[in-house]
Amino acid sequence: MDTKSGARERLSRSREELLDLSHRIHAHPELGFEEERACAWLENVLADHGFAVTHGASDLPTAFVARAGSGPLHIGICAEYDALPGIGHACGHNMIAAMAAGAAIAAAAVADDAGLSITVLGTPAEEVGDSSGKVLMLERGAFDGLHAAMMVHPAPVEMLEMHIIAASMFEVHYTGKPAHASAFPELGINAADALTIAQTSIGLLRQHLKQTDRVHGITTHGGDAPNVIPAHTSARYIVRAQNVEELQDVRDKVVRCFEAGAIATGATLEIRGGSKPYADLHPDQGISAIYKRNAEALGRTFPDLGVLGERMAASTDMGNVSYALPTIHPMIGIDSLPAVNHQPEFAAHCVTEVADAAVIDGSLAMAWTAIDLARDHETRDRLMMRR
Ligand SMILES: [Zn+2]
Ligand SMILES: [Zn+2]
């Protein structure tokens, strides 16, 4: 049996186990850096399949690395498993986790024949938007020695390369002074007014943003009582731009809007976080082409999305990985339209038969891609040369 058939055969024997993993994670959504159960379930599955598992990798309680194989080409496969507040696995990270495990189990079965080593990186907290699992694991050396990294993310439709832009998430806190809102309003400093002024300024700023920029956020605390001048308000904002350089420029402008709120009201402003943003993603064209060929061999098709593909920009810490080593982040379609990522309806789609079939296809397409990377001497040499 050739290595690709061997990988497929191994995967088919683990089908139920992988779909059970996907469904279990989906049924128990956990927020970023709190993914204790998902992390443990993944570690157990991989340990059962002979992987050497390091729990709490990079000093993160819900991160892990799991390694198998002893071949010279070392491929990293990223697993995400965090959910969103209130809407659970509406980004389908349960599928990402199961696909990472599936790809790794299938590739590990033939790793030594193919000349591969496989490391699964359990990367927490992708949805947090700043100082996330991959950002910290990169800093702390978890990706050192890897020749390439890959993961597959669910989406409404198949996309080889999604438009991934840079992003920075930060918290804003205004502190004013409480006072009776009717009897002594002149003694108060209104922290809610500060936030209103900032939001108005950001609204005006939109005229001067590039079409590719994004600014969006939520108020996380707006005050405590209508008859008390709000002494404390807070918000969480995300700023995005084409790349990390442009991101800094947009972020500076948005920060000035928040400063405007403080100046106008006399409230004090504190901005927390945002120092470790997500980078734009540069997929490795060679690995992308190989992934596409393998996905198509499994019957998957990549529709031309035209301008919609450009408009649909999102961000991921896999962008930071792509700055460090050759990386791909293809999107696998689960036929969910009109439901899209970050909607409860999308969460429901992430455990359907279509999603389950995608889990198996995504696993095998990644395993076959890893095998091709090791077998194609030109690609293998290119990947191994640069480290
Ligand atoms: Zn998401
Ligand atoms: Zn996601």
The CA 112 to ligand 1 mean position distance, Å, reads 35
Closest to 326 in 3D by CA, of 387, 283, 365? 283
- State the Cα angle at 168 between 287 and 90, rounded to 5°: 70
Per-residue pLDDT reduced to its tens digit, 335-373: 999 999 999 999 999 999 999 999 999 999 999 999 999
**Gap between the Cα atoms of 20 and 306, Å rounded:** 36
Ligand with the closest atom to the CA of 129: 1
Tell me the CA–centroid distance for residue 379 and ligand 1, in Å: 31
- Which ligand lies nearest the alpha carbon of 167? 1
Ligand 1 centre to CA of 342 (Å) is: 6
Q: Could you tell me the distance, in angstroms and rounded to a whole number, from the CA of residue 247 to the centre of ligand 2?
A: 20
Q: What is the mean pLDDT of residues 225-248?
A: 98
pLDDT digits (tens, 9 = 90+) for 200-229: 999 999 999 999 999 999 999 999 999 999
User: Residue 338, preceding bond cis, omega within 30 degrees?
Assistant: yes
The ligand whose atoms approach the alpha carbon of 123 most closely is 2
Chain segment 153-199, per-residue pLDDT in tens:
999 999 999 999 999 999 999 999 999 999 999 999 999 999 999 99
Helix (H) or strand (E) holding 212: none
- 153 C-alpha vs ligand 1 centroid, how far in Å? 9
Ligand 2 centroid–CA 224 distance in Å is: 34
Q: Which ligand is nearest to the CA of 96?
A: 2
Side-chain half-sphere CA neighbours of 224 within 13 A: 11
- What CA–CA distance (Å, rounded) separates 309 from 109? 36
pTM, rounded to two decimals: 0.97
Distance 129 CA to ligand 1 centre (A): 10
Crossing angle, helix 191-205 and helix 244-265, to 10 degrees?
Answer: 140
Residue 386: pLDDT band with limits 50, 70, 90: confident
Ligand 1 centroid, distance to 109 Cα (angstroms) = 31
Q: Which residue has the tokens 């699964």?
A: 120
Tell me, in angstroms, the distance from the centre of ligand 1 to residue 198's CA.
Answer: 26
Q: What is the pLDDT of residue 387?
A: 56
Question: What's residue 134's pLDDT?
Answer: 98
Structure tokens at 327: 């990386």
Q: Which ligand is nearest to the CA of 80?
A: 2
| Gap between the Cα atoms of 256 and 263, Å rounded | 10
Q: Does residue 102 have a pLDDT over 80?
A: yes
Centre of ligand 1 to C-alpha 67, Å, is 27
d(CA 13, ligand 1 centre) in Å: 30
Tokens 């003694």 sit on residue? 187
- Residues 370-377 have a mean pLDDT of 96
Per-chain mean pLDDT for the chain? 97
Per-residue confidence (pLDDT) for residue 241, from 0 to 100: 98
